Amino acid sequence: MSARVLSLEGAEPHAGGASEWRRYGRAYARSASSMAGLVIVAAFLVVAAVGPWIVPYPDDARGAVHLDQKLRPPGAAHWFGTDEVGNDVYTRVVLGARVSLQIGLIITVVAALIGVPLGIVAGYVGGIAGEAIMRVTDVFLSVPALILALAVVGALGPGIVNAMLALSLVWWPGYVRLVQSKTLALAQETYVEAARAGGAGRARIVFLHILPNCVSPIVVKASMDMGTAILAAAGLGFIGLGAQPPYPEWGAMISYGRNYLPTWWWYSAFPGVAIYLTVLGFNLVGDGLRDLLDPKSRG
C-alpha cells in the first residue's frame, strides 16, 4: 500500500536522484514475494553466466554419449540422474539456463524494438499510418501467439533460430498496444502541451517527454515477457519445433524425457522445475516493479 502512495506522488516525473532510487529500493524490498522473485532471477542469471564452469560434465550438452551410464537415478554422481545416452541431467539443466536466457532476451528485445516505435507513431503521430498500425496490431492480437508462432515455424521449418524468429514476429503487438495508449494519454498532459506551445518539435517532445514516461510500463511488461517468452519457446521445444537435440533446451528435454515415464521420471521432471522457477521469478519481479512504477495498470 505504501508503495502505491509513494509512486503516485513520485513516479511520473523523470528526475531521479540517488535518494529517490533508495526509496524505490526500500519500497520494493518491503514485499516478500518481490524479493523472492529477485533472488530467483539473480540466481538464474548467475547460473546462466557461470554455468559451463560449475557443471560436472560440460561435454554432456554437446552430444557426448556414455551408454554405460544411461538412465541412472539421481544420486551422488548424477544429482538429477542421467538420460538415455548417459548424459548428466543436472549438467544439461544448468546449461539450459543460458539457452533460456538468450531466448527470453532476444524475443523480448526484438518485440520491444519493433513495438515501441510503432506504438509511438500510432499514438503521437496518428493519421492514416497510426490507424493502419493499430488495425494490423489488432489482427495479430486476434490469434493466440502460440498458434501464430506454430504457423510461422511451420512455414520456416523447425529449429531454435526459427522458433525465436517466429515468437519475436508474433510478440511485438503487445508493445504497440501498451505504448500507443500510454502515448495518447501523455500527449494530453499539461507539460507536453507547454512544450509544444514553447515551440518544441515532434522529435524533441517524443524523446524528451513521451519516451521517458513510457519506460516504466515497458520495463514492467518486458520483465513479465521474459517469463512468458521462455515458457512459449519451451512449448515449441516440447512439440519438437524448437531446439533440436543435443541442444540443452528445457522444453525439448521434457519432450524426450516423456518417452521414459514413469520409470525414469527424473529425465523430464527436473527441466520442468527449472522452467517453473525461472518463469515464477520473472513474474514476481514484474509484479513487484508494477506495484512500484505503474500501480494504475494492475490486473
Partner 1 sequence: MTQYVLSRVAFLGLMLFGLLGLTFAISHVMPGDPARLAAGPDANQAMVDTLRAKYGLDRPLGVQFARYLGGVVRGDLGESLRSRNAVLDDLVRYFPNTFELVTLALLLAVALGVPLGMLSAVYKDTWIDHWTRIVSVSGVALPAFWLGLMLQLLLALHFGWLPLGGRLGLTASPPAPITHLLFADALLRGEWRTLGDALAHAVLPVVTLCFPALASILRVNRAEMLETLTQDYITTARAHGFSGFRVVTRYALRNAMIPTLSMIGLRYGWMLGGTILVETVFDWPGIGLYAVNAAVSSDFQPIMGVTLLIGLNFMLANLLVDLAYGWLDPRVRRRSPA
Interacting residue ranges for partner 1, rule: CB under 8 A: 33, 134-136, 138-140, 142-148, 150-158, 227, 231, 234-235, 238-241, 251, 254, 258, 261-262, 265, 268-269, 271-272, 275-276, 279-280, 283-284, 287, 298-299
Q: Please identify, using beta-carbon distances, which residue of 211 and 289 lies nearer to partner 1.
A: 289
Query: 82 - beta bridge partners?
Result: 88
Query: Which residues fall within 8 angstroms of residue 204, CB to CB, at 6 or more apart?
Result: 195
Q: Please identify, using beta-carbon distances, which residue of 22 and 258 lies nearer to partner 1.
A: 258
Q: Which residues of 211-248 are buried (b: 16+ CB within 10 A; e: fewer)?
A: bebbebbbbbbbbbbbbbbbbbbbbbbbeebbbeebbb
- Amino acid in position 160: I
Q: Please identify, using beta-carbon distances, which residue of 57 and 270 lies nearer to partner 1.
A: 270
Q: Please identify, using beta-carbon distances, which residue of 32 and 50 lies nearer to partner 1.
A: 32
- Amino acid in position 52: P
Q: Please identify, using beta-carbon distances, which residue of 116 and 167 lies nearer to partner 1.
A: 167
Q: Please identify, using beta-carbon distances, which residue of 32 and 77 lies nearer to partner 1.
A: 32
Cβ 125 to partner 1 shortest distance, Å: 18
SS3 assignment, position 254: helix
CA dihedral 278, 284, 285, 286 (to 10 degrees): 110
- Report the C-alpha gap between 101 and 51 in whole angstroms: 12
Integer Rg of the chain from CA: 22
Query: Which residues fall within 8 angstroms of residue 200, CB to CB, at 6 or more apart?
Result: 208
Cβ 175 to partner 1 shortest distance, Å: 16
Place of cell 524479493: 35
The CA angle 199-205-206, to the nearest 5 degrees, is 155
Q: Are 266 and 93 in contact (CB under 8 A)?
A: no
Cβ 121 to partner 1 shortest distance, Å: 17
DSSP per residue, 96-144: HHHHHHHHHHHHHHHHHHHHHHHHHIIIII-HHHHHHHHHHHHHHHTS-
Q: Please identify, using beta-carbon distances, which residue of 194 and 259 lies nearer to partner 1.
A: 259
Cβ 279 to partner 1 shortest distance, Å: 4
Cβ 54 to partner 1 shortest distance, Å: 24
Q: Please identify, using beta-carbon distances, which residue of 237 and 246 lies nearer to partner 1.
A: 237
Cβ 255 to partner 1 shortest distance, Å: 8
Cβ 94 to partner 1 shortest distance, Å: 18
Cβ 226 to partner 1 shortest distance, Å: 12
